[in-house]
Amino acid sequence: LNVTEEKFVLDTLAGCTEYKSILDVVVNAFYVQDGRYCPISERNLYLVICYLATFQLENIGLQHFSRIVKSLDTAKMQKFLRFFFNDLYLNTWIKDEWSHFYDSVYVKENLIDPLLRWQPKVQQLIEKLTDKLNNRTTTVKTSRVTQPKEFNLTVPKPRAIPLPPPAPLPVLAKRQPVPPSTYKPPKERKQLEEIKTKNIQKAKVSIRSLTCICKGGPFFLNTLPVQGTTSTGREIDPFLPQYLEVVWESVLTQYFEDLTKQPQDLIDNIPIKLNTAAILREGALYQRKLEEELKRIENLQQGAGDPSEFLEWQKQMRGKDLEEQLAEIECRRLQGKLSHEEAVLARQNVIQENKKKADLLREEKAELMHLYAEKRLQEQKEMKELVEQVTEGHKNVKQVKAKIQEYKQQIVQQVCEESEELLRQALEEEEEKNRKRYELIQQIRAIESIPSIKHKFVDLTETGGHGLFGEMSIVELRERLALLKEAQKAAEEEKRDQIIHEKQAKEQLLLDKLDQISQFRAELGRAAALKQEEKKKSQSGERPMKDERILNLQKKIVEKTMERKKQEGLL
């Protein structure tokens, strides 16, 4: 480019960079409306045309602008100029968008009005481009082009794409073995089983001791005859087995009640020490139970049903989910085992490949060593020839050495003379430096010998006079520090009082929780006592019935004996 064209290109580039914000408004709108199918790679082309039309049309003239436009693609330039030089767009949204970046008066006078003045002439250029575009399209339509026809060839089958070699499997880290405690039952269960067996043995021993009262052993009641006589010839009353069964039932019920009461009493008498967390936890537990009970009562009042069927269904579904989870865990375990086996196989394959590669490297190394040995033999031969040549050249070296020795002696003599001259000059310069240094020391000592006033009077009430904001004297600084310490001490006292109040509130909350817990425990104990009393009443209500039955049975027995004796007397 010559100087004028280079200046024009640089000015255009600088202008596009400076006014990029307002140029982007027009180009972005063009891509949204008329240029939807234009490639985004031509964006800079539209930016340059927009800049030339807006800012440089007065300078370069319409003819030069037309030449630039015609040198580009006709359809694209016709579409963009028709969009940009639209009167409605210039007076409405383009003006409003440009007013966001520059003053509205400046936009109207310096940007919009020049474009509207040039609009008729640019419209003529757009019409020329449209005519040219129409002529080109018509010529294309009228021209006849030979339409080739495809040969009816057999379509080849698509070739199979060779698959790449499988990537080596990653070596998994060795998983830790399952701890043996997973497959062992807990110690607590074993202890409970031992306690249970001991209690059963105690119950059996006590039952055996009770059954030893009867003469016939533990199955005496079942072996007694209903009527007749014993082996000794004594008659047996038919109602005696029923009476013994009643007595046996009452004794067993009393014994099992004693067994069931004993652990509960021991558990209730265990002392429990409560800390703050335990108190809050137990209070929250009782509060939650109270809310659940209220909610249950409210649901019952509203007509809610029994959730037992839903709980049974929920239990079954949870069992199914657990089985599915166990099956999935087993699948994962088997998959892990399979992946482990595959990893072992892959590792073996890698080891074999490494062995093959090592063998190839050994062969290559042997070949290289052979070549290196041959090369060394060739070099040794060349060195021997070189040594022979050098020995021949040493025969004529003595004369050359003598000449070189003389030349060196001359050079050494010249160097010695020059070094003596330089040494003398260096000594003179050093003496001159020492003399100047001595004079300077004498001047410094004379200045130090003059007496000076070292005492400086300081006024603590005056500022330093450095011209800084907030400058203060030492006295004012001390007063402010004292005030700051007092404020800090007051804040500490206030914080201490607040901590004490919070501690007292927390203690009061714990006391309230303890009262609430004691009330709940008392209510629970009262309810348990009432339940126990009701149970005892029900048992006492049954016992008189049993006693009455026994009395009736005894009366019947007496009556039967009397009748039997009467019959014996009659006989």
DSSP label at residue 235: B
How far apart, in whole angstroms, are the C-alpha atoms of residue 302 and residue 135? 88
In a domain, 50, yes or no: yes
In a domain, 41, yes or no: yes
What is the three-class DSSP state of 100?
Answer: coil
In a domain, 61, yes or no: yes
Phi, psi (degrees; rounded to nearest 5) at 72? -100, -175
Assess contact for 52 and 86: CB atoms under 8 A. no
In a domain, 66, yes or no: yes
In a domain, 251, yes or no: no
DSSP 293-341: HHHHHHHHHTT---THHHHHHHHHHHHHHHHHHHHHHHHHHHHHHHHHH
Q: What average pLDDT score do residues 500-523 get? A: 88
Cβ-based neighbour number of residue 31 at 10 Å: 16
Q: How many domains would you assign to the chain? A: 1
Measured CA distances, 400 to 229, 366, 387, 388, 404 (Å): 162, 50, 20, 20, 6
Residues 6+ apart with CB under 8 A from 33: 83
How far apart, in whole angstroms, are the C-alpha atoms of residue 469 and residue 267? 78
For 47-62, how does the pLDDT look when each residue is reduced to its tens digit (9 = 90+)?
Answer: 898 888 888 888 888 8
Residues 6+ apart with CB under 8 A from 136: 74
Q: What average pLDDT score do residues 310-324 get? A: 86
The pair of structure tokens assigned to 314 is 């929920």
Assess contact for 211 and 218: CB atoms under 8 A. yes
Domain that holds residue 74: 3-137
DSSP 152-195: -PPPPPPPPPPPPPPPPPPPPPPPPPPPGGGGS--HHHHHHHHH
The pLDDT of residue 484 is 95
For 110-142, how does the pLDDT look when each residue is reduced to its tens digit (9 = 90+)?
Answer: 888 888 888 888 888 888 888 888 875 444 445
For 77-99, how does the pLDDT look when each residue is reduced to its tens digit (9 = 90+)?
Answer: 888 888 888 888 888 888 888 88
What is the three-class DSSP state of 413?
Answer: helix
How far apart, in whole angstroms, are the C-alpha atoms of residue 60 and residue 51? 12
In a domain, 8, yes or no: yes
Cβ-based neighbour number of residue 343 at 10 Å: 15
How far apart, in whole angstroms, are the C-alpha atoms of residue 198 and residue 490? 70
The pLDDT of residue 256 is 55
pLDDT at 301 over 70: yes
Q: What average pLDDT score do residues 167-177 get? A: 77
In a domain, 88, yes or no: yes
In a domain, 94, yes or no: yes
Q: Which of 47-61, 236-250, 369-383 has the lowest mean pLDDT?
A: 236-250
